[in-house]
Amino acid sequence: MERIVPLCYSETEQSVPFRRRQAMTNTAIRPFRVEVAQAKLDDLADRLRRALWPSELPGVGDAYGVPGDRVRSLAQHWLEEFDWRAFEAKLNAFPQFVTEIDGEDIHFLHVRSSRPDATPLVMTHGWPGSVVEYLDVIAPLTEPAADQPAFHVVVPSLPGFGFSGPTRSTGWNRYRTAAAWVELMHRLGYERYGAVGNDGGSMVSPEMGRLDPDGVIGVHVTQVFSFPSGDPAEFADLSEADLAALQHLQWFMDNKFSFNQLHSQQPQTLAYAITDSPIGLLAWNAQLFDENLDAEFVVANVALYWLTGTAGSAIRFYYEDAHATEHPTGPTTTPLGLAMFAGDFQSIRRFADRDHKNIVSWNSYDGAGGHYAAHEATDTLVADIRRFYAQLV
């Protein structure tokens, strides 16, 4: 089992203003260390060895779903090459904590810069990612060269994901998560801070700006999920690049969107399969990891879901978001910056300007990098984050 060390993080508690501490209950921040039981690793290896494989049609590629040769290759890496203990040590090299917010345990990495002028950042992942997404950017953000801006970095595990553990209550959509993150940052003593996001984090982070406009300096994302409203006027005089982006989006909706539909409607039905079979989980999650990603990164993310028992609870995020009945309307006004990568979802500025009225940075990168830019194009993303916040602080 993962062990939570029941000690109070007194330095952080004292950094929270007294007026806030008085209004909060059960706000202890407890140091956390990953310690997966060997029996759980042995059971995983046994399941991987005894996997039952489905039949496949010849010559169909990925038309019917993730091809067997890719899943078999990743499974072999997981069983024979991936070293969880080494990865566990890598995670434990970062300060980690758990605190209860709105009835749920929230796990997070919290790495402070040695620089007194550092800007706090909360960095939010999505599905099927995890805190693993941001491990590569922590060092360059927290301890940069003297002439570069520095950041205190907070990387939480979304509710229901990884070491935050399965959620115990309903309603954990982007809006409730954003409120929890605002509470987390203030609980850590950060009155002014930035919000960075990828995938689901690109939906959570703008909502933080709505909830805490005096606290959130700016929002930096790798996708702006703004779509056509249905008004024909929105399509007038669109550039060729925007039309191509729309065409690609339509292709994705027609061919690769089944995961979203199932997560949004029947996550519990799928949960039985991906909670009982590591091969099932690997195949299901791998559909959203590009083939050019290294196997170590893919397996590390999948293994984290498996070993924390959160394969099923994580996908509830889609259901909760799809069934959110009360949420803010109208455009956001917090300064927003986008770093868009060629191998990822292509945001369209016209639609983004409709939903966000204070876009101050919009950059597109055609080189390396895709949906997991923090891992694939670390230097490029870090440089974009630095430039964005340098103009705001």
**In a domain? residue 189:** yes
The pLDDT tens digits of the residues spanning 288-309 come to: 999 999 999 999 999 999 999 9
How is residue 31 written in tokens?
């140091």
In a domain, 68, yes or no: no
User: How confident is the model over 148-176, as a mean pLDDT?
Assistant: 98
SS3 content of the chain, % helix, strand, coil (to 5): 45, 15, 40
Residue bearing the bigger pLDDT, 267 or 4: 267
- Total domains present in the chain: 1
DSSP 315: T
Considering only CA atoms, give the Rg of the chain.
21
- Assess if residue 58 is contained within a domain: no
Please tell me the predicted confidence (pLDDT) of residue 7. Answer: 30
Longest dimension (CA), the chain: 66
Going by pLDDT thresholds of 50, 70 and 90, the confidence category of residue 11 is very low
Contact 138, 111 (CB under 8 A): yes
CA distances in angstroms from 183 to 102, 103, 215, listed in the order given: 9, 13, 11
Q: Tell me whether residue 322 is in a domain.
A: yes
Residue 4 has pLDDT above 90, yes or no: no
Decide if 323 is inside a domain. Answer: yes
**Residue 379 amino acid letter:** D
CATH number for the domain including 133? 3.40.50.1820
Is cis: bond before 278, omega within 30 of 0? Answer: no
State the residue range of the domain holding 11: 3-51+96-390
Give exposure, 30-39, as e/b (b: 16+ Cβ within 10 Å): bebebebeee
Q: Enumerate residues 6+ apart whose C-beta is below 8 A from 121.
A: 141, 151, 152, 153, 154, 193, 194, 195, 196, 385, 389
Residue 30: per-residue pLDDT? 98
- Listed in sequence order, the DSSP H helices in the chain are 10-15, 18-23, 38-49, 68-80, 84-92, 135-142, 174-187, 201-211, 240-255, 258-265, 267-276, 278-286, 295-308, 311-314, 316-322, 349-355, 373-376, 378-390
**pLDDT-derived band at 25, boundaries 50, 70, 90:** low
Which tens digit of pLDDT belongs to each residue from 44-103? 999 999 999 999 999 999 999 999 999 999 999 999 999 999 999 999 999 999 999 999
Mean pLDDT of 358-368: 93
Domain assignment present for 70: no
pLDDT higher than threshold 70 for residue 5: no
The mean pLDDT of 155-166, rounded to a whole number, is: 98
Q: Is residue 63 part of a domain?
A: no
Give the count of beta carbons closer than 10 Å to the beta carbon of residue 18.
8
Answer yes or no: is 101 within a domain: yes
Least confident of 14-18, 175-179, 317-321: 14-18
Would you say 121 and 194 are in contact if contact means Cβ atoms under 8 Å apart? Answer: yes
